[in-house]
Amino acid sequence: MQAPQNRKQVTIALFVATFLAAIEGTIVSTAMPSITSELEGIRQYSWIISIYLLATVITTPVYGKLSDLYGRKRMFIVGALIFLAGSMLSGVAQTMNQLIWFRALQGLGAGALTTIPYTIIGDLYPYEKRAKVQGWMSSVWGIAGISGPLLGGLLVDYVSWRAIFYMNLPFGIAAIYMLSAALRESFEKKKRHIDYIGIALFTIGMFAFLYGMTLLRDKDVNGISSLAIGTLFATAVVFLALFVAASRRSDEPIIPFELFKIRIISVANLAGFLICVVNVVIIFYLPLWIQGVYDKPATYSGLVMIPLSIAWPLGAILAGNWIAKLGVRLITVTGACLLLISGIGLALMDPQTPFALFIVYTLLSGLSFGLTLTSLTVTVSSAVGWEQRGSAVASNNFIRTLGQTIGITAFGMMLNTGSTNRIDAELLEASLHTIFIWVALLSVVILLVSATLPNRRAAEQQSSAS
């Protein structure tokens, strides 16, 4: 790959694209009451968000591999155009069914925006600068988490819910133009094999699995039968087994399994998976404790989560600046220690716990997520050469999202709010207490896994070799 004509311009374009993908979840959530009211589709409420996430998760490793085969710029532009087409169509949707399909299309493009920017940063910058830029890139997710609800509320109240989709168009087009003009790639011209069979098997298998996890989480609410869920999981097992068999015979598998033989990648993937299991539990269930156990309004939940939203990007920036000096292992272990302190605090809390302590716990959690996830991203992107970097980064992102999906489902089955529509505070407290004990235990495991990462010198040698 050749150096870009304007590295700064490429980086700005990637930041814009990442922000659009990152803000999509929070900004749409804010607009959901208005959307379901106008389109009369309260029964399909959850699918507006779920279908987008399903499509994004499934296409993430696909875009990663295709970017290795056909170039980052080409696949970024393809994904961005699909994302913008889905955004425009979502803005003009007249029924909930239309909006669900258009959101699926939007998610099919978002898979490129969530993974290829990290890959391009890994291509453009040497190890020291790569860590800093990827730290800033990771902070974009925290910024989106803070600004999404506010921006969504303003657009819904003063313009229209449709504006949250139209907003993507000018910024997305600008990002495409900037990247197209500044990024230069060169390829050896040869016939390239696309594993269409592998893509189809993976898509069916992962959709069945993720859809099954979604239904398993909500089966008591929606009355979903165990047979239907079991059928989906059985379908997932069959198709994913066929996918593994097909991948082993393919010249260019969508997920190169030899990547998992690289110890540093395997450790980073395992740590990222576990961190994201804990991450989703804290984000979803700590506000529930505030509202259900403390009987406080939603405003208090928002106040508790603000420190996390601020500390996460701060931790990401610090990690980017420190990695070259301190090394991946020290930063990741430090972040894991902060998470362990937070996890122990959450496991020990009771209805008399001072509100200020929750601020401390969320602050420590946010710093931890910023430090660990950013350092792990740098680790994975630095562990392989250009020809495999897209697949490595995409697989890591996919595994993290899988951790969030499994985490919210597994711990959701532990949650007990009572048998009526009104929350039983005592039952909720007991179940959340159990969940947070598991968070503390998983934090110990995360610390032990993080300690097995290579030291600073080994990481630098790995990076220079790639």
At 236, the pLDDT band (50, 70, 90 cuts) reads: very high
301-305 CB contacts, 8 Å cutoff, 24+ apart: 303/359, 304/355, 304/358, 304/359, 304/362, 305/362
Q: In the predicted model, is pLDDT for residue 415 greater than 80?
A: no
Q: State the pLDDT at residue 76.
A: 93
3-state secondary structure of 327: coil
At 1, the pLDDT band (50, 70, 90 cuts) reads: very low
Contacts of 211 (CB under 8 A, 6+ apart): 54, 232
- Highest mean pLDDT range out of 291-300, 390-399, 455-464? 390-399
The count of C-alpha atoms lying within 13 angstroms of the C-alpha of 28, restricted to the half-sphere facing its C-beta, is 26
Cα separation of 144 and 230, whole Å? Answer: 36
Query: What average pLDDT does the structure give for the chain?
Result: 83
Q: State the pLDDT at residue 140.
A: 83
Q: In the predicted model, is pLDDT for residue 112 greater than 70?
A: yes
Q: State the pLDDT at residue 133.
A: 86
Q: State the pLDDT at residue 420.
A: 54
Amino acid type, 161: W
Q: In the predicted model, is pLDDT for residue 177 greater than 90?
A: yes
More confident residue, 357 or 420: 357
Q: State the pLDDT at residue 84.
A: 96
Longest Cα separation, the chain: 67
Calculate the CA 9 to chain-centre distance: 25
Q: Which two tokens stand for residue 132?
A: 């800093």
DSSP state of 3: P
Cα separation of 247 and 132, whole Å? Answer: 35
Calculate the CA 15 to chain-centre distance: 16
Q: In the predicted model, is pLDDT for residue 85 greater than 90?
A: yes
Cα separation of 58 and 81, whole Å? Answer: 18
Q: Which two tokens stand for residue 379?
A: 């680790």
Cα separation of 214 and 52, whole Å? Answer: 13
Q: What is the mean pLDDT of residues 216-228?
A: 67
Q: State the pLDDT at residue 165.
A: 92
pLDDT digits (tens, 9 = 90+) for 2-29: 444 578 889 999 999 988 888 887 787 7
Q: State the pLDDT at residue 422.
A: 64
At 57, the pLDDT band (50, 70, 90 cuts) reads: confident
Calculate the CA 343 to chain-centre distance: 21
pLDDT digits (tens, 9 = 90+) for 433-459: 899 999 999 999 999 999 998 765 555
Q: What is the mean pLDDT of residues 252-276?
A: 88
End-to-end CA distance of the chain: 13
Q: What is the mean pLDDT of residues 95-122?
A: 90
Amino acid type, 461: Q
DSSP string, 277-316: HHHHHHHHHHHHHHHHTS---HHHHHHHHHHHHHHHHHHH
Pick from 40-49, 59-68, 338-347, 408-417: least confident = 40-49
Cα separation of 131 and 374, whole Å? Answer: 8
Torsion of CA 126, 128, 131, 136, to 10 degrees: -100
Calculate the CA 152 to chain-centre distance: 20
At 192, the pLDDT band (50, 70, 90 cuts) reads: low
Q: In the predicted model, is pLDDT for residue 320 greater than 70?
A: yes
pTM attached to this predicted model: 0.80
Q: In the predicted model, is pLDDT for residue 464 greater than 70?
A: no
Please state at what angle helix 7-39 crosses helix 96-113, rounded to 10 degrees: 160
Q: State the pLDDT at residue 47.
A: 75
pLDDT digits (tens, 9 = 90+) for 371-386: 999 899 888 888 888 7
